[in-house]
Structure 1
Amino acid sequence: MRTKIIATIGPASSSPEVLSKLIQAGVRIFRLNFSHGDASMFVELIDNIRKQEMKHNIPITIMQDLSGPKVRIGNLDVPSITFSAGSKAYLGLKKPENADLPFMPFDNHMMLADLDVKDHIVLSDGGLQFDVVKKINNELVVLQANNSGIVTSRKGLAMPGKSFKVPALTEKDKKDLADGLRLGVDAVALSFVQTPEDILEAKAIIISHGRKVPVVAKLERQNAVDRLDEILAVTDVVMVARGDLGIECPLPKLPTMQKRIIAACNRAAKPVIVATQMLLSMVNNPVPTRAETTDVANAVIDGADCVMLSEETAMGAYPVEAVKFMAQITEEAEAVLHERQPVSNVSREHLLFKKHYTAAQKEATPSEFLTLAACQLAEVSHARALVCHSVSGSSGRQTASYRPKQELYVLTPDHVSLKSLNFSWGVNPILVDENMPGHLERAEYFIDTNKEFSAGDRIVITAGQTNNVAANKGTNLVKIYAK
């Protein structure tokens, strides 16, 4: 299995026994959703994950998912409001005197003032849709429901087609981020990213706390998709968060938008996650639907590095079974990748196109050419595996972006790189001893002592051999090594 599986942890999966089964089934990244609590809720869980990591001797990445500035209605003065198509309600700052309709409190002055008659509003992650049929003033409007449903307090609200600049990091997020870093999370997912500056702000906070962990940009807004290239230049990982993105943009456009985002991430050699409702029926059922299995497979074939489970593992009745099904689906889909485009057919022109180079930009680096050459060598020489030594993880991610057919082992002495490499397709991250001086020597020692390799196996190695010249840092060596 080359595609990485992310599992959201919740009541259904937080016990040591289930965590162990999830790791055995293929999970390499655990997502902690800070939308429903603070760091105090995750202290014991993080400790349990670390114990399972040691037990299984597999690098496990803990990803903190910050709640972000999700727009919500306030607390209702009744337990719930039931709507049918055509029924109406007030939405505003203050309930009008002698109100003749149900009232939903909403304290965002800017968004209320911007609303006009015929504007569209969705609640409950798209489950209920309304039109504005009357604007009383800048603080109160009347909505008419287009379908049936129930609204309870604090439900999410979105206004498709309207753009509002709000900070991606709320005060709660900043506190949660500091607490998560203190607890030792390995990655941070930033919700409702809109600009590259949002990513840079999060990275500055991380650095100020003496840590260096990858930032995942969750694409949930149209304006973030519009600035994807700029965001890709500064983020470490991208998540196609289809829940809120599917509310922000017309649903018929979502599949092609997903494909374009994945393609852009592949070109930039940045890991990309596809998330939301991948096997949603398995919250209550022991097997997925045919449409869900096809959805997961198509994400892999399109080039996703990771696929993510949310409710399926957090609160579903079959968390382990969901991961097992996802692993089986991804394994079947991975075989199609190499049928479509063998690495040996990737040309220099394809590499230059892949990296978006223009006349105003620099030529591809030697490291990028060498990682491509390594993948081609591995294919034409029928190598048993690829072994890449990468301190920062960059050349490992670059190698993975070519989707080599061979097993890919990325050796690194850096703990941060070790955990971040779990986001990259096909990478088996290995921590190596810094006391052994040469990168090539470390790679050869790993091969010689690895029982998975037999005598006579050919292994393609990429490494960096330095001579104290700054320009020579990074991958500058490719070697076919026979055990």
Structure 2
Amino acid sequence: MDRHIKIIATLGPGTETYEAVKELVASGAKIFRLNFSHGGRDFFSKMVEIIRRLESETGLTLTVLQDLSGPKIRTCDVGLGAIEVSKGTEVLLGTSDKAEAATEPFICLDIPEMYHGVKVGDPVALSDGMIRFNVVAIEDEHLIRLQATNSGMCPPRKGITFPGTVTPLAPLTEKDKADLAIGLELGVDVVAMSFVQKPEDIRNLRTEMAKHGKQLPIVAKLERTAALACLEEILEEADGIMVARGDLGLELDLAELPVAQKRIIKACNKAGKPVIVATQMLLSMVNSPMATRAETTDVANAILDGADCVMLSEETAIGRYPGETVRFMRKIAYETESYLFESGQADLERGVAKEHPSTFLAYAAAMLAGKTNAKAIVCHSTSGATSRLLSSCRPKQSVYALSSNHTVRHFTNLSWGVIPAIPLDVLHDHQERAEVFVRQSPAFAEGDIVIITAGQPERGRSATQTNVVKLYEKQSKEEG
């Protein structure tokens, strides 16, 4: 059985050689994340070159995902060193001009906009949530008093968040605009946007792309409670979603995170859009060749919930066992997907709402594939929409998505169970393209049944939505 879940591996110092990336591909990773919070142009250029070389050598579709930094809000260093706090300790948080006059422990945050709208009682999280505070007084316009709710060290230059509030900083920073220009020049396939709070954020990124004469698929990273409040609107605007559990876990009560993950995945499945689950999936494998039982269960549950992709971050970027980590994730996927199909949990009914004819035809094709025990589903999908609809039906069969468009092929690679492929461009007829692909592909043997879906363009029209579903049997000679 083909593994349907897609594995995303983040590249970094631990995987910056051709041999290391080749091992990741051989182990099962097909999508590679370039984290623009770390590394420079030379590193990213080298990585894209390696991925394209491997793509050419293996014949596989390998997708490059550019992850923009977004406004990571950090404290600044005013030379006061690290502060040790105990539960109940009060500290001041203010702009650098307030530091000299401070006679109490002081943390510097030199972003004046962040103080607007802060109220007594609001939570504040420092150092990825390791230290938590509550606002106990507003001392001045850019100076607030915090009280620690736990103990620990507060060094400078650490990330700080104001959980539950709408951040006044736009998610597309000047750094992101410069990084986007680099990514588009290097030829990335998909762009992930950090700290999305509303659909306009996605539209702003599209406008920025247009300045470079390009339009790539955009994955919205959900890290703010404000984004959860308008999830449906963001889903309409974005091409895919990432459940970024690191920062989202700071915004929510941690006990709320698993249910939030399930709700987001369910909404994405219904909308027929790919969803990525990320952060600390197999974190212990950064330093250990073995994962924990909890991590193993976490990956399996993400797959059972309906995730299209599971993502590795530090595990492959700086970890000591990148190849082993991907292979273990693949093994979990194999066991989980076997259970999904034997238990009937990958039920067609979990897919998208069948309101449109093309949606209904995708559902019918998936059902027909199941009833006939077909080898695969082959669809000719100009925009990739049909392959995503088929994927959301969660058929047991792989979905071969034929598209002449490089960008479409590389984005369909993010959808569960979808294998991108290039059709013969000499044929205008989409159905015939699909049949020729089956006849020529070594993936299918004589006598194999394949379900074909295609859009047959009417005369005078260059494109149409899916309007054909056909049961096709591969024969040794062309059907007469």
Please say whether Structure 1 and Structure 2 have the same fold, judged by a TM-score greater than 0.5: yes
1:3 is aligned to 5
1:477 maps onto 2:468 in alignment = yes
For the pair 1:214 / 2:217, whether they are aligned, the reply is yes
Among 379, 404, 413, which residue is 1:422 paired with? 413
Displacement of 1:260: 0.6
Query: Residue 234 of structure 2 aligns with which residue?
Result: 231
Which residue number corresponds to residue 280 of structure 2?
A: 277
Amino acid of the structure 2 residue aligned with 1:443: A
For 1:419, give the aligned amino acid: H
Q: Structure 1 residues 226 and 470, CA, compared in 2 at 3 Å: closer, same or farther?
A: farther
Aligned counterpart in structure 1 of residue 134 of structure 2, from 124, 131, 134: 131
Please tell me whether the aligned partners of residues 78 and 99 of structure 2 are also in contact (alpha carbons under 8 angstroms): no
Secondary structure of residue in 1 paired with 2:412: helix
Change (3 A) 1:41 1:102: farther
Pair 478,403 (structure 1): closer, same or farther in 2 beyond 3 Å = same
Deviations 1:74-124 (A, max 9, x none): 124155333333444321013444643332211222332433443321011
Moved more, 33-42 or 460-469: 33-42
**Match 2:457 to one of 459, 462, 466:** 466
CA offset at residue 291 of structure 1? 0.6
Counterpart amino acid of 2:67? D
Q: Is the 8 A contact 1:212 1:416 kept in 2?
A: no
Deviation digits for residues 202-260 of structure 1 (CA, Å, limit 9, x no counterpart) = 11222331222110000111111111111111110100111111111111111111101
Tell me which amino acid in the other structure corresponds to 1:318. Y
Q: Classify 1:425/1:101 alpha carbon distance in 2 versus 1 (closer, same or farther; 3 Å).
A: same
Counterparts of 2:139 and 2:168, CA distance in 1 = 25
CA distance in 1, matches of 2:451, 2:165: 51
1:366 is matched by which residue type in structure 2?
P
Alignment correspondent of 1:120: 123
Question: Which position in structure 2 is the counterpart of 1:204?
Answer: 207
Q: Whole-Å Cα distance in 1 between the matches of residues 59 and 90 of structure 2? A: 57
Contact preservation (8 Å) 1:76, 1:152: no
* Paired AA for residue 198 in structure 1: D
Do 1:38 and 1:176's aligned partners in 2 also have CA atoms closer than 8 Å?
Answer: no
Aligned pairs (5 A) from 1:298-337: 298-337=301-340
Q: Is the 8 A contact 1:133 1:142 kept in 2?
A: yes
Match of 1:391 among 367, 374, 382: 382
Q: Which digits, 9 at most, give the CA deviation of each residue in 1:362-418, with x for residues without a partner?
A: x83221111111111111111111111111111011101101011221111111111
Contact 1:76 1:103 in 2 (8 A): no
Shift of 1:440: 1.5
Provide, for residues 416-471 of structure 1, a one-character-per-residue CA deviation record: whole Å limited to 9, x for no partner. 11100111000011012312222122111111112221111111111111123659
Q: TM (normalized to structure 1)?
A: 0.93
- Provide the rounded CA distance (Å) in 1 between the counterparts of 2:117 and 2:445: 68
Which of 52, 55, 64 in structure 2 is aligned with 1:53?
55
- Contact 1:32–1:63, Cα closer than 8 Å, also in 2: yes
Percent identical residues: 49
Aligned residues: 471
In structure 2, the CA distance between the partners of 1:97 and 1:210, relative to structure 1 (3 Å rule), is closer
The residue correspondences of 1:79-118 to structure 2 (distance < 5 A) are 79-93=81-95, 94-97=97-100, 99-118=102-121
In structure 1, what is the equivalent of residue 185 of structure 2? 182
Conserved? CA contact 1:301–1:336, under 8 Å: no
Gaps of 5+ in 1: 356-362
8 A contact 2:114–2:168 mirrored in 1: no
Question: Which of 59, 65, 68 is matched with 1:66 structurally?
Answer: 68
Q: Contact between 1:199 and 1:217, CA under 8 Å: does it hold in 2?
A: yes
Aligned position for 1:360? none
Residue identity in the other structure for 1:229:
E
What is the one-letter code of the residue matched to 1:292?
E
C-alpha contact 2:165 2:226 (8 A) present in aligned 1: no
Say which SS state the counterpart of residue 330 (structure 1) adopts: helix
